[in-house]
Structure 1
Amino acid sequence: MIRWRYGTVTGVRGGWRGCTELEVDVEAREGEDAFSCRGLAYDELVGVPEVGDRLLLNCNAIAKGLGTGGYALVVAVPDRLPADVEGPGHIVKARYTPMQAMRLAVDEDDSPNRAAVEACESLEGMPVVVADLHSALAPVLAGIHSTAPEAKVAYVMTDGGALPAWFSRQLDQLSDRLCTVVTAGQCFGGDLEATNVHNALIAARVVGGADIAIVAQGPGNLGTGTVWGFSGTAAGEAVNAASVLGGRPVASLRISEGDARERHRGVSHHSMTAYGKVALAAADVPVPDELPADLEGKIRSQLEELPERHRQIEIDCSGLVEAMEALPVKLSTMGRGLDRDRVYFVAAAAAGRHAAQMAKRRD
């Protein structure tokens, strides 16, 4: 199940918050030649490797050629273990795996935020933008701040993709535009930790002071091509969570003009399933006022299939492309940028703009 290998650090490529990127020489095993590759270490889990360190590696991603996580992941620096870290917190994440991590969650007894979280009875109409993919985070944020520049925005990361929030370079690059990052469920490494999406949304509001929350999984979407077999079903569950807590769910549509797979062209089957079948609560569904001419008929037809409980709202998208181009991150979804899948990013930014307009009406 795991391709265990030993390797040696030959160079440190750099890093970002929580991560160190390495050059690694991987030792040969029987029937396999030695090779060199990129390695990735999570600093809080294994320490910060240095040139010359011998590493224990998990090379599954290298063997499978995974685009999102194409690293040899550092499991341990066996000859230079990090010191034990003592402190409060007994919530275990990545539970019962060799890399399980003890974290302090906002909703446990030792947390200074527990009383505030427990006392919160409602999100009081806070807009909650729900998206299928982590790549929607940046354009949603651009849509919000192009419309309400002073809005305080929290990101709630769900555990359908990467479990360590540190894996996302975007979070590092966008950190000054987010009031807090809350890692929910089995994922970890945010500014705040929460047991589930419900308390993560509450923490975003009462601890982070957010005006708007964005909920999406971390990098590394899982999909099998079947109706129900994809990690983005959690988007529908997040709509339900936001609604039951007294928030205002905003369903960001996953629309594509650049995806070669028919099930994702137009409105992705992920959005149709998550919002059409999993989400039992009503949500606002922002629809861009600019759609690809060759797909507009298909998209309009697909949207007619969504349940009547959802409210579809056409959004003026003027200025959104410029707002996205001004971001400090490279926009990319499944390897496609703004030039190859413009409608994907515009649809996400439109959801952000709608949430910002809702937040301004609340003030």
Structure 2
Amino acid sequence: MISIKRGKVTKIIKKLEGRTDILVNIDNKDENAINYDYLTGCIAVGDEVILNTTAVELNLGTGGYHFVIWNLNISNQSIDTKGHIMKLRYTPFQLKTYAVEEQESPYHKLFHEFKSLNDMPVIVGTLHSMLVPISSTLKYLNNNIKIAFIMTDGAALPLYLSNAIYELKEKNIIYKTITLGHAFGGDYEVVNIYNALIAAKEIAKCDIAIVTMGPGIVGTGTPYGFTGVEQGYIADAVNDLGGVSITVPRITFKDERERHYGLSHHSLTVLSKIMKTKSNIALPNFSLEHETIIMKQIKENNLMQKHNIFKVEKNILEQALDQYGLKVKSMGRNLKNDPEFFATCSAAAIYAVSLLNNQ
């Protein structure tokens, strides 16, 4: 079930492409809310709205926002004629998108003609917070590189929720965005990961792709009960299509949960049990103590035999972030608080650029 309340818009805080952040008065108290313009239309001060307040009431990680279900001041809302691929299918919020592979699309023929990714590097992460350190490192090393960001439907479905995407596109770090499955809002909409990868190569004409879910990974503390398991079959899809998969492990020594200490159990499960093909893993320099822990985990899970593991000696992330005026944060921790997590993301990007330089 969802929790529903009625409110009145008292202020437009910020208007972005596809999203409007607002203040809504609910029971004589102003609270934060998000209106997805593509779903519920434009919104203005004074509008009466129906809100989904579930996540805030449960204290979940949505940043303290309610979400507009309906604007009562809009009586009718029409759709354009292009496209017929539905996302959020058979829910009250099902929406029509114009997928690039559907029959009426001018790109339809490309998917029939596709042969191979031709060794295009594809960096496959899990947490959305990996996107900024990876993409900024790539762009810092090669300012001319064209980066596609592919967002899966493993977490947030609207691309519009990601503040990072707005900033990365504004700074010309991310060139094109692609949303797959039930995720929506990308420059290109596609049905699945295979066509997302093809679109990055053949439509966006990018040099490299980064794949992660949107904000809000789901985990249950059980061996397979987390949405990050998708990392395994995404890397397999990259390899199946003739790309070079680079898998970013989740590494931290700051998480108080034992299962995430060092190589997270998420990464260990994906790399040892989910993934069926060989991937490439780049690791940064660690302290002797941390290196010992990581290598013990790698050995115990037979990862050296299953994957190609490389060491990246340099760490340029701080310079890259400074150049573009970017900040990083994951699970509430910044670069200073959790350097190993972000250095691992950056190492994947450094390795990817080395592959491009050798092509």
Query: Normalised by the shorter chain, which TM-score bucket?
Result: over 0.9
Q: Which runs of 5 or more structure 1 residues have no equivalent in the other structure? A: 28-33
Partner residue in 1 for 2:26: 26
C-alpha distance in 1 between matches for 2:5 and 2:287:
47
Q: Does 1:125 align with 2:122?
A: no
Which residue among 271, 280, 283 is the counterpart of 1:284?
A: 280
Q: Whole-Å Cα distance in 1 between the matches of residues 275 and 217 of structure 2?
A: 19
For 1:270, the equivalent position in structure 2 comes to 266
Deviation at 1:317, TM superposition (A): 2.5
Structure-2 separation of matches of 1:69 and 1:246: 39
Contact 1:139 1:349 in 2 (8 A): yes
Please show how residues 1-363 of structure 1 align to structure 2 within 5 Å.
1-27=1-27, 35-81=29-75, 83-175=77-169, 176-288=172-284, 290-304=285-299, 305-307=301-303, 308-362=305-359
What per-residue deviation string (whole Å, max 9, x for no partner) do you get for residues 334-357 of structure 1? 111111101111100110111111
Contact 1:40 1:71 in 2 (8 A): yes
Task: Give 1:58 deviation, angstroms.
Answer: 0.3
CA-CA distance at 1:263 after TM superposition: 0.9
Deviation at 1:49, TM superposition (A): 1.4
Shift of 1:277: 1.1
Closer, same or farther in 2 for the Cα pair 1:320/1:109, shift >3 Å? same
- 1:311-353 superposed Cα distances (whole Å, 9 cap, x missing partner): 0000122322221343444311011111110111110011011
Contact preservation (8 Å) 1:7, 1:26: yes
CA shift at 1:306, angstroms?
4.1
Q: Name the CA distance, whole Å, in 1 between partners of 2:163 and 2:76.
A: 24
CA positional deviation for 1:192:
0.2
SS across alignment from 1:10: strand
Q: Which amino acid aligns with 2:350?
A: R
Q: What do residues 61-109 of structure 1 show as CA deviations (whole Å, max 9, x unaligned)?
A: 1101122342110011022246312221111111112111100111101
Number of equivalences: 355
Q: Which moved more, 1:317-326 or 1:171-180?
A: 317-326
Q: Which amino acid aligns with 2:283?
A: V
Q: Deviations over 1:216-260 (max 9, x none)?
A: 001100000111000000011110100000000001111112111
| Structure 1 moving runs of 4+ over 4 Å | none
Q: For 1:180 and 1:82, how far apart are their aligned partners in 2?
A: 32
How does the TM-score come out when normalised to structure 1?
0.94
Contact 1:153 1:211 in 2 (8 A): yes
After superposition, give the CA deviation of every residue in 1:99-158 in whole Å (9 maximum; x if it has no partner): 111001111011111111221111010001000111001111122123222111101101
| Aligned partners of 2:315 and 2:347 also within 8 Å | no
- 8 A Cα contact 2:150 2:210, kept in partner: yes
1:174–1:328 Cα contact (<8 Å) kept: no
Determine the C-alpha separation between the residues in 2 that align with 1:328 and 1:209. 27
2:217 partner amino acid: N
Retained in 2: the 8 A contact 1:47–1:82?
no
Contact kept, 8 Å, 2:315 with 2:343, in 1: the verdict is no
In 2, Cα distance between the equivalents of 1:98 and 1:131?
Answer: 31
Partner of 1:30: none
Identity %: 35
Report the TM-score, using the length of structure 2 for normalisation: 0.95
TM-superposed deviation, 1:293: 4.2
Range with bigger deviation, 113-122 or 188-197:
113-122
Counterpart AA for 1:291: F
* Deviation sequence 1:29-74 (CA, Å, 0-9, x none): xxxxx54310000011111211111001000111011223421100
Are 2:125 and 2:247, in contact at CA under 8 Å, matched by a contact in 1? Answer: yes
Question: In structure 1, what is the Cα distance between the partners aligned to 2:214 and 2:342?
Answer: 17
Q: Distance in 1 between matches of 2:100 and 2:30?
A: 41
